[in-house]
Amino acid sequence: MHFALIGCGRIGRVHAESIALHPRAELTRVCDAVEASAREVADRFGGVPGSDVDAVLADPAIDAVVIASPTPTHVDLLARAVEAGKAVLCEKPIDLDLARVDDCRARIGAAESRVMVGFNRRFDPSFRAVRERVATGEIGRLEQLIIVSRDPAPSPAEYLAGSGGLFRDMTIHDFDMARFFLGDVVEVSAMGSNLVADYIAELGDIDGAVVTLRGADGTLCHITNSRRCTFGYDQRLEAFGSLGMLSVDNLRPDGVRAFTAQSTESAAPYLDFFLDRYTPAYRAELDHFVQSILDDSAPEPGFEDGRAALVLADAAEESLRTGRAVAVDAAAATTAGGRR
Amino acid sequence: MHFALIGCGRIGRVHAESIALHPRAELTRVCDAVEASAREVADRFGGVPGSDVDAVLADPAIDAVVIASPTPTHVDLLARAVEAGKAVLCEKPIDLDLARVDDCRARIGAAESRVMVGFNRRFDPSFRAVRERVATGEIGRLEQLIIVSRDPAPSPAEYLAGSGGLFRDMTIHDFDMARFFLGDVVEVSAMGSNLVADYIAELGDIDGAVVTLRGADGTLCHITNSRRCTFGYDQRLEAFGSLGMLSVDNLRPDGVRAFTAQSTESAAPYLDFFLDRYTPAYRAELDHFVQSILDDSAPEPGFEDGRAALVLADAAEESLRTGRAVAVDAAAATTAGGRR
Amino acid sequence: MHFALIGCGRIGRVHAESIALHPRAELTRVCDAVEASAREVADRFGGVPGSDVDAVLADPAIDAVVIASPTPTHVDLLARAVEAGKAVLCEKPIDLDLARVDDCRARIGAAESRVMVGFNRRFDPSFRAVRERVATGEIGRLEQLIIVSRDPAPSPAEYLAGSGGLFRDMTIHDFDMARFFLGDVVEVSAMGSNLVADYIAELGDIDGAVVTLRGADGTLCHITNSRRCTFGYDQRLEAFGSLGMLSVDNLRPDGVRAFTAQSTESAAPYLDFFLDRYTPAYRAELDHFVQSILDDSAPEPGFEDGRAALVLADAAEESLRTGRAVAVDAAAATTAGGRR
Amino acid sequence: MHFALIGCGRIGRVHAESIALHPRAELTRVCDAVEASAREVADRFGGVPGSDVDAVLADPAIDAVVIASPTPTHVDLLARAVEAGKAVLCEKPIDLDLARVDDCRARIGAAESRVMVGFNRRFDPSFRAVRERVATGEIGRLEQLIIVSRDPAPSPAEYLAGSGGLFRDMTIHDFDMARFFLGDVVEVSAMGSNLVADYIAELGDIDGAVVTLRGADGTLCHITNSRRCTFGYDQRLEAFGSLGMLSVDNLRPDGVRAFTAQSTESAAPYLDFFLDRYTPAYRAELDHFVQSILDDSAPEPGFEDGRAALVLADAAEESLRTGRAVAVDAAAATTAGGRR
């Protein structure tokens, strides 16, 4: 299976490596507006480098396109790649503006089923194991989901200025995780805070938040976010049900524990960087994408999942602004239906 | 120091034992509407049994009164005991109705400083250690507080019918814990659920909830409650700050871990019963009360803390009903001021 | 049931408190060579103080005697108490010299069944739970037992000089624990070290050791000892069997964990003092003793268990001296037979 | 750097993958007595397949040879590869017979410094981190080392028959780990057991053991082995020192914990297969080998480390047979000197 990669930044390189390591995939074309970046990636992971997107999409040898370019370019590239008959794995978010996402959806129509959105955390072995064990009924009916998601340190102002705000940039992963467990969400309530960095407040953004969601079936979900966490990348989840609970601990670089006169069982700080923490998830994500092409099945999370997470981010923004819980119309938010 | 105990139910017996074990305290009078109950407690822990509250309050030998009678009797007994010149430790809640609490406050006036309210969890060694370590600055500025509080199993309908609802009966402990860490709370938002037992819904009550609070200084707090938890009495807390985090694990009856072909590190379910879990807290609570009398200082938590937690419960009810975040006027809610 | 306590040092006070708290027991006489010590204990926990052992043993009101006096006095007091018709709980070790223990055994004859030896760790809730779960077959056949036992800090030279050496003073608890799980032990091998304190070497004693035991049925056991452990009183055990493993973690004063930029999940140092760590064990030990008197059954661990642990300590000494594994004749070592 | 791989069994494939993934290394020749095996590995990881060792060693393009063929072939291949001027990474053990190892040593002489022995566990990130932190003095002087090493299930009789016995086949890794921490070992004492499988006893081998070592500087070390462990591949280590302890927990496939009415915090069984558990160690091992060639430095563990571990295995055999602690002459056992 021949892959083209569009966008050779940090996340693009992760995908390039996943493609290179996959036994069924080959990196055939590598594209970036800065051709030197494309060349660098091609040297390491294979493929013909270039900066011309048209040439990539016109190449009949290409089966699948991974879009890892800047967010504002996503919807157009996604639509064109689909129109060119390619399977598409598009990095999240599809776009920051729901109207543009809806335009894109109208444009691609039924071909939506060939699009996968890069919510990599669904493929984290621990989160996925919990999801699957919940589905088997191990903890009975799921009643409460608690998600803690904290970044080690805030991104710089330049990045945040174009990020769409905490909910669309960071919480969007947690909204998707909530939907992964709860299916449709019908109500969103949010509080935000500015405790981490002044420049974030100056951008009109928040740097911490607590968000409460209600699923269509009454399950409640709590999300806690922070842009700063001194002890590493804090990524935890608790699924609480009528028969028990499943939780996910953070991962550490090694299994060493220290015991001294001051403290016992001290472990190392958590893995700090999202690429380290989620490397296996990115690999598994690509594998699912490859498998969906081989099976001619719709990949999950799909376009509608990308759209639905954005709907929840918009609802959280509205709740933050109005101090009200915001009702979400599941039908309008997603035509894919719940996943439970 | 001579104690009288009024109310010899489950919680009254805990206090009787704490008094009997305290080197500075002596259980001198034991009173219950059912005299046989009083006699049973007196036989075990000392004191003269009886059913006449007037005789107890009129006894000049009595220095301090512990009120563990049914909630509707609290405000009157509290006021009368204070008027009789006794120090008072009153079980939570002071009352379910804020107007009655305010009447009581007006009645006792400045003597309020002689009243302690039985929010025992403040005296749990683990929670207290976290509170003290936060105060030393160990984790920098406190930014987020996450409280999980789940009962092993719901109380019967008869009890719940008079309980004032989940927020006033169960969450009230968590509201006090939030105030213990955040000081004044200025905003409350709540979602509830009915997933545990039909009879709770039939009573018009909820059996699970997620509540979000904002402190006067911007600190956010999340509370998760459930009336049922199969793996024991789930009582956890995370204090997250600019420099790190302090968390409290649940306690277990022993330190055994099992390793089998199915699982590893399996520990026993948590201590199931609140009296087991919080025995040291009840002991320390009484000790603080004794100490405050010896020092002639105002005990903490005091009357205003009892009132403020009820204000938050009322606000949570309103948020549940209206779907809005409810602003709390700190000045109206409490004259004691923040505690940080 | 009327108790006399002989010996009012540190460990004597623990027993005094256990007796005072036991609903079926009463502390009736308190005896110490230093009468002021006896008086102090009597003031706190009840009983008539005194320094005359004869008077204690002659008192027909006394049902049971707890011997917590210095080790060299044990055998004589034990024999006399038994001869006076009392049930006896004697602190470990019975004596440091096997010949004196055997003389005592000959003297008391069949009345041995009224003697309990104070190996309190058998009554630790965690160790006991493991023992009971092993007995149910939860981990199949027990194959390997690993005991780690380290003191926070070495005792002073004056104490150690009369202690009989590390094996008879400290490891003796672990020898008993090994027998609690393995029954008869048939082979002992030991290595020692002097790494902690020069004065211990100057006394001709060791301050660290590793000991290997083989049970009569082939089960192997490892014991690791140290006289110094900076992170607290390190008392752990792993029972490994054909179907799994049960292990015992150390206990901590609270359930707090700290997370910082330097480390995560840091807990407090372990409980430091053996009296704190084993308080519940001492209570349960006394309760078993009381129960055995009520049932007129032989308490466990009995006199032979005290003797057998000393036999193993002697064997370890011999192994240390000779560099050979030492065979232990189970029949000679104990007539009580294995306990599995 | 051009690599040849000799031996394409299970462990040979691990090395092939490590070479293929290493940015500085290339798999140029792949050799196995069964040419089809060589071809299969070459197809996947590159290189020219073949069954002719002479051709491999004669190829001037080859810089380094990895020997992963059956143990009896090691010494001859190792010597010939060294004589052909290649750097050599030889799987453990060098040979089961110390005399043959010594002959090989005499044959290769000073070229010994170009030989690395495949004790992969030294490169496990957790064990290595402990080793490095001990070296910094974090726990003061190392006093006791406890190693637990249990295989998930015994190898079949055919394999065990030629394995040289538990000490030379399995414990040899732990002997090397002991030397990694203690340097020279001067005394070995061992007990064995037959509790796992009858066919192992019939082979004259043991299936469980406890071994005690004394380092030249007095540090004590305990090793516990079993051929069967139902809960996975149990690989733990505790380094206990004058200032504290560092321990290594086992690794699990995910970070999920389960909480039910029966148990809490249950994690998954440990990684079961040594290749899963030690994948990062094999990668790091190869990287160290590559680096030593680039630096023209002697790799560690070297030939003498391979020999010294075998000396300890022989000593453990002798102790098992004689029931005596066996003195090891460090000078005779190893000329490399301690590593601390």
**Mean per-residue pLDDT, B321-332:** 86
Q: What is the pLDDT of residues C133-182, one digit of tens each?
A: 999 999 999 999 999 999 999 999 999 999 999 999 999 999 999 999 99
* Per-residue pLDDT at A229 exceeds 50: yes
Looking at the structure, tell me whether residues C59 and C178 fall in a common domain: no
Boundary of a domain, candidates C53, C84, C117: C117
Amino acid, single-letter form, for residue D101: V
User: Which A residues 183-212 touch C at CB under 8 Å?
Assistant: none
Looking at the structure, tell me whether residues B11 and B152 fall in a common domain: no
Looking at the structure, tell me whether residues C187 and C297 fall in a common domain: yes
- Give the separation between CA C167 and CA C180, rounded to whole angstroms: 17
Give me the pLDDT at residue A21, please: 85
Domain span at residue D96 reads: 2-117
Q: What is the DSSP letter of A171?
A: I
Q: What is the DSSP letter of B227?
A: S
Give me the pLDDT at residue B123, please: 97
Which chains have 3+ CB pairs within 8 A of D?
A, B, C
Residue A132 domain flag? yes
Give me the pLDDT at residue C340, please: 26
List strands edge to edge, sheet with C244-248.
B256-260, C244-248, C234-241, C142-150, C220-226, C208-215, C185-193, C326-327
Give me the pLDDT at residue D340, please: 26
Three-class SS state of D198:
helix
Test D247 with A259 for CB contact under 8 angstroms: yes
Q: How many CB pairs under 8 A join A and D?
A: 73
Structure tokens at C281: 């064990």
Looking at the structure, tell me whether residues A85 and A177 fall in a common domain: no
Residue A204 domain flag? yes
Structure tokens at B274: 């609140």
Phi and psi angles of residue A118, each rounded to the nearest 5 degrees, phi first: -80, 55
Cβ distance D193 to D207 under 8 Å?
yes
Boundary of a domain, candidates C117, C152, C179: C117
Residue spans of alpha helices (H) in chain B = 10-21, 35-45, 53-58, 74-83, 98-108, 125-135, 157-161, 166, 172-182, 198-202, 274-277, 279-295, 303-322, 330-333
Contact residues for D321 (Cβ-Cβ < 8 A; gap 6+): none
Band the pLDDT of B333: cuts 50, 70, 90: low
Give me the pLDDT at residue D332, please: 61
- Region of residue C88 (phi > 0: left; psi between -120 and 50: alpha; otherwise: beta): beta
Band the pLDDT of B336: cuts 50, 70, 90: very low
Cβ distance D255 to A250 under 8 Å?
yes
The strand pair at C244-248 and B256-260 is best described as antiparallel
Looking at the structure, tell me whether residues D131 and D103 fall in a common domain: no
Amino acid, single-letter form, for residue A270: Y
Give me the pLDDT at residue C145, please: 98
Three-class SS state of D216:
coil
Give me the pLDDT at residue A331, please: 60
Measured between CA atoms, how close is C274 to chain A, in angstroms? 17
Looking at the structure, tell me whether residues A146 and A16 fall in a common domain: no
Residue D191 domain flag? yes
Residue C338 domain flag? no
Report the CATH number that the domain containing residue A20 is assigned in CATH: 3.40.50.720
Give me the pLDDT at residue A136, please: 97
Q: In chain D, what's the furthest Cα-to-Cα distance?
A: 66
Nearest chain C residue to D227, by CA: C242
Q: How far apart are the first and last CA of chain C?
A: 32
Give me the pLDDT at residue C330, please: 65
Cβ distance A90 to A115 under 8 Å?
yes
Contact with chain D for residue A222, Cβ under 8 A: no
Q: What is the pLDDT of residues A137-174, one digit of tens each?
A: 999 999 999 999 999 999 999 999 999 999 999 999 99
* Per-residue pLDDT at B20 exceeds 80: yes
CA dihedral C172, C177, C182, C184 (to 10 degrees): 30
Measured between CA atoms, how close is D63 to chain C, in angstroms? 42
Among candidate residues B211, C266, B238, the one with its CA nearest the CA of residue A150: B238
- Give the separation between CA D189 and CA A59, rounded to whole angstroms: 70
Test C208 with D220 for CB contact under 8 angstroms: yes
With 0-12 / 13-18 / 19 or more C-beta atoms within 10 angstroms meaning exposed / middle / buried, residue C26 is middle
Amino acid, single-letter form, for residue B174: D
Looking at the structure, tell me whether residues A199 and A159 fall in a common domain: yes
Structure tokens at C89: 């709980």
Nearest chain A residue to D259, by CA: A245
Looking at the structure, tell me whether residues C200 and C169 fall in a common domain: yes
Residues in chain D, pLDDT under 50:
334-340
Number of other residues whose CB lies within 10 A of the CB of residue B35:
16
The beta-carbon neighbor of B267 closest among D263, D268, D270 is: D263
Q: Does ipTM surpass 0.90 in this model?
A: yes
Residue B241 domain flag? yes
Measured between CA atoms, how close is A64 to chain B, in angstroms? 41
For chain A, the domain total comes to 2
Amino acid, single-letter form, for residue A205: D
- Give the separation between CA C87 and CA C326, rounded to whole angstroms: 35
Contact residues for B288 (Cβ-Cβ < 8 A; gap 6+): B116, B123, B299, B300
Give me the pLDDT at residue C331, please: 60
Residue D340 domain flag? no
Residues in chain C, pLDDT under 70:
273-274, 330-340
Cβ distance B31 to B38 under 8 Å?
yes
Q: What is the pLDDT of residues B221-273, one digit of tens each?
A: 999 999 999 999 999 999 999 999 999 988 888 889 999 999 999 998 888 76
Residue A338 domain flag? no
Phi and psi angles of residue D232, each rounded to the nearest 5 degrees, phi first: 120, -165
- Give the separation between CA B326 and CA D123, rounded to whole angstroms: 57
Contact with chain D for residue A140, Cβ under 8 A: no
Contact with chain A for residue C231, Cβ under 8 A: yes
Cβ distance D105 to D294 under 8 Å?
no
B interface mutation test: which of A171, A194, A240, A322 has the most B CBs within 10 A? A240
Give me the pLDDT at residue B276, please: 76
Test A266 with C268 for CB contact under 8 angstroms: no
* CA-to-CA dists, residue C207 to A56, C171, C277, D208, D329, angstroms: 74, 11, 22, 29, 25
Q: What is the DSSP letter of B268?
A: P
Boundary of a domain, candidates B61, B86, B117: B117
- Give the separation between CA A49 and CA A36, rounded to whole angstroms: 8
Contact with chain A for residue D337, Cβ under 8 A: no
* Per-residue pLDDT at A239 exceeds 60: yes
Three-class SS state of C3:
strand
Q: How many CB pairs under 8 A join A and C?
A: 58
CA dihedral C77, C83, C84, C86 (to 10 degrees): 80
Give me the pLDDT at residue C335, please: 35
Looking at the structure, tell me whether residues B9 and B109 fall in a common domain: yes
Helix (H) or strand (E) holding D325: none
Computed over every residue of chain A, the mean pLDDT equals 94
Test B256 with C138 for CB contact under 8 angstroms: no
Structure tokens at B262: 């199915």
Contact with chain A for residue C136, Cβ under 8 A: no
Structure tokens at D240: 């206990």
Contact with chain C for residue A253, Cβ under 8 A: no
Test B208 with A146 for CB contact under 8 angstroms: no
Looking at the structure, tell me whether residues B83 and B167 fall in a common domain: no
Helix (H) or strand (E) holding C340: none
- Give the separation between CA C38 and CA A126, rounded to whole angstroms: 61
Amino acid, single-letter form, for residue D235: Q
CA dihedral D84, D88, D94, D99 (to 10 degrees): 40
Test A250 with C264 for CB contact under 8 angstroms: yes
Report the CATH number that the domain containing residue B179 is assigned in CATH: 3.30.360.10
Length of chain A in residues, anyone? 340
CA dihedral B73, B75, B78, B80 (to 10 degrees): -90
Looking at the structure, tell me whether residues A191 and A139 fall in a common domain: yes
Residue A339 domain flag? no
From chain C, pick out residues whose CB is under 8 angstroms from the CB of B243.
Answer: 260-261
Looking at the structure, tell me whether residues D329 and D280 fall in a common domain: yes
Question: Which region among A277-286, B106-115, C85-94, C329-338 has the lowest average model confidence (pLDDT)?
Answer: C329-338
Q: What is the pLDDT of residues B46-99, one digit of tens each?
A: 999 999 999 999 999 999 999 999 999 999 999 999 999 999 999 999 999 999
- Region of residue B46 (phi > 0: left; psi between -120 and 50: alpha; otherwise: beta): left
Cβ distance C195 to C207 under 8 Å?
yes
Test D194 with C240 for CB contact under 8 angstroms: no
Contact residues for C295 (Cβ-Cβ < 8 A; gap 6+): none
- Give the separation between CA A174 and CA A112, rounded to whole angstroms: 23
Cβ distance C250 to C234 under 8 Å?
yes
- Region of residue A237 (phi > 0: left; psi between -120 and 50: alpha; otherwise: beta): beta
Give me the pLDDT at residue D331, please: 60
List strands edge to edge, sheet with A208-215.
A326-327, A185-193, A208-215, A220-226, A142-150, A234-241, A244-248, D256-260, D266-267
Q: How far apart are the first and last CA of chain A?
A: 32
